[in-house]
Structure 1
Amino acid sequence: MLSFMRAPHPPRTNSAVKNPIFYENGRSSVAFSAPGSEYIMTHRLPPTTQANGVSIIQPPFHYHIYQDEFFRVKSGKGNFFRGVDPKPFVTLSDEPGGQTTASVKAGTYHRFENASQSEDLIVDIHLTPESYENEQKFFRNFFGYLDDCKSAEMQPSVFQLFVFLHSADTPLAVPISWQPSGRIASRILLTALAFWGRWILGYKQTYPEYYRPEKRE
């Protein structure tokens, strides 16, 4: 193991037992519901601003190998993207008469963003088949690490991020227009970087400061 070659870890915030978890100095948050709930978690994304940049909660293009994903906007307005189309396939909002729900199938490239310049986007999320503790483990580690890097003004390690993503069967989307080829390329990239990060550099899939499978607040 060549752990001496890896980037230093940021100081870790102990958030393992907190629910909700607040990030980015309270501007964003993730709250987990009970197992078997209609929606397993709620994300709060602040607007993108010049001062604060893009929120760590805003996902890049990715796909889930085995799970469908469902969204319900509770407050604000969000643009939801699918495939490699640069235009959103739907805009969800809490406006009267607005569409509030959408979904994507396993294997489909997707991402979403806050479409407002002034209001938070609050969106419920569910993944099915549900894997409650695995989802808690991934999101707590992924966002906890990104938030600590941002607070410490450090660049996140790509290898650490891919170790987290591999544990959740969630490749980042390689932007190839024909998605079957893109999915294969994405999985190869995910597997290669996660292997190097975990088995060569010594990054972990989970850290006790971010996740512990025990009773939470």
Structure 2
Amino acid sequence: MLSFLRAPLPPKTDRASDNPIVYEDGASYLEFRTSPESNYLLRNQHPPFDKENPSIMVPPFHYHIHQTEHFRIVSGEFHLFKDTADIPWKTLSADDPNGLKTAFIPPMQYHTINNASTTEPLVLDVSLTPEDVEGEERFFRNFFGYLDDCRKAGQKPSFFQLMVFLQSSDTPLGLPIAPKWLGIAASHLFMHGMGFFGRWILGYRSTYEEYYVEKKAV
């Protein structure tokens, strides 16, 4: 293992027991459901969209290998993009009585989202099916906890650490390669190659105790 070659980890903030988990000095948060009656895994707040300095909550184009991702608007408005288009595929709005309130993205479909407003926050609910509650909570807590700690430390996130996180959740980055089937295949291989290097050569981990505490089996 060549961990001495990797970028240093930022000081980690212990948030493993927090719910909601507040990021970006209060501008964004994740809140995991506490009621089994909820159809959604988490509630997520994005700050107003800033193209020059996007929130850590704005994901790059990516896809889910096995899962369908479901969205429900709670307050505000957001754009849902698919493939690599600059034009929104759908816009969900809480304020427009005729606007869409829910949407979903099937497996193997490139997508991303962003707040449609540059002045107002966005709140939405998110879930994935088939559901892996523990695996998804582990991923989200580690991914955004790490990004926010890098932000606070003024440190650029390690690409290899991010790929280790993404590999753990079967979520490749959507590489802009045509035709689509080739892009999907290349993205899949790229994720595994970079994730393997990050984990087994550089020594990055897929979870840290400051961000997530493993649930004990009953």
SS of 2:198's equivalent in the other structure is helix
Query: Do the aligned residues in 2 keep the contact of 1:48 with 1:54 (CA within 8 Å)?
Result: yes
Q: CA RMSD in A?
A: 1.4
Once the two structures are TM-superposed, the CA of residue 37 in structure 1 deviates from its matched residue by 2.7
Is 1:64 aligned to residue 64 of structure 2?
Answer: yes
Query: Do the aligned residues in 2 keep the contact of 1:31 with 1:42 (CA within 8 Å)?
Result: yes
SS of 2:92's equivalent in the other structure is strand
Sequence identity of aligned pairs in percent? 50
1:17 counterpart residue number: 17
SS of 2:149's equivalent in the other structure is helix
SS of 2:192's equivalent in the other structure is helix
5+ residue gaps, structure 2, are none
Once the two structures are TM-superposed, the CA of residue 97 in structure 1 deviates from its matched residue by 1.9
1:120 counterpart residue number: 121
Query: Do the aligned residues in 2 keep the contact of 1:77 with 1:93 (CA within 8 Å)?
Result: yes
1:189 counterpart residue number: 190
Runs of 4+ in 1 over 6 A off after TM superposition: none
2:55 counterpart residue number: 55
Query: Do the aligned residues in 1 keep the contact of 2:68 with 2:129 (CA within 8 Å)?
Result: yes
SS of 2:141's equivalent in the other structure is helix
- CA–CA distance in structure 1, aligned partners of residues 37 and 64 of structure 2: 19
The amino acid that maps onto 2:117 is S
Query: Do the aligned residues in 1 keep the contact of 2:49 with 2:114 (CA within 8 Å)?
Result: no
Question: Deviations along 1:147-166, whole A, 9 cap, x unmatched?
Answer: 00000000000000000000
Question: Deviations along 1:71-125, whole A, 9 cap, x unmatched?
Answer: 0010001000011222111010112221111101011000000010111111100
What is the total number of aligned residue pairs between the two structures?
A: 214
Is 1:103 aligned to residue 104 of structure 2?
Answer: yes
Query: Do the aligned residues in 2 keep the contact of 1:162 with 1:194 (CA within 8 Å)?
Result: yes
Is 1:33 aligned to residue 30 of structure 2?
Answer: no
SS of 1:19's equivalent in the other structure is coil
Query: Do the aligned residues in 2 keep the contact of 1:33 with 1:41 (CA within 8 Å)?
Result: yes
SS of 1:148's equivalent in the other structure is helix
- CA–CA distance in structure 1, aligned partners of residues 41 and 20 of structure 2: 12
Query: Do the aligned residues in 2 keep the contact of 1:78 with 1:113 (CA within 8 Å)?
Result: yes
The amino acid that maps onto 1:39 is Y
Once the two structures are TM-superposed, the CA of residue 214 in structure 1 deviates from its matched residue by 4.2
Query: Do the aligned residues in 2 keep the contact of 1:69 with 1:128 (CA within 8 Å)?
Result: yes
2:91 counterpart residue number: 91
Question: Deviations along 1:129-176, whole A, 9 cap, x unmatched?
Answer: 000000000000000000000000000000000000000000000012
Report the TM-score when normalising by structure 1: 0.95
2:44 counterpart residue number: 43
Once the two structures are TM-superposed, the CA of residue 65 in structure 1 deviates from its matched residue by 0.3
- CA–CA distance in structure 1, aligned partners of residues 178 and 89 of structure 2: 16
- CA–CA distance in structure 1, aligned partners of residues 70 and 49 of structure 2: 23
SS of 1:42's equivalent in the other structure is strand
Query: Do the aligned residues in 1 keep the contact of 2:61 with 2:173 (CA within 8 Å)?
Result: yes
Query: Do the aligned residues in 2 keep the contact of 1:84 with 1:177 (CA within 8 Å)?
Result: no
The amino acid that maps onto 1:113 is N
Once the two structures are TM-superposed, the CA of residue 36 in structure 1 deviates from its matched residue by 6.3
Is 1:132 aligned to residue 133 of structure 2?
Answer: yes
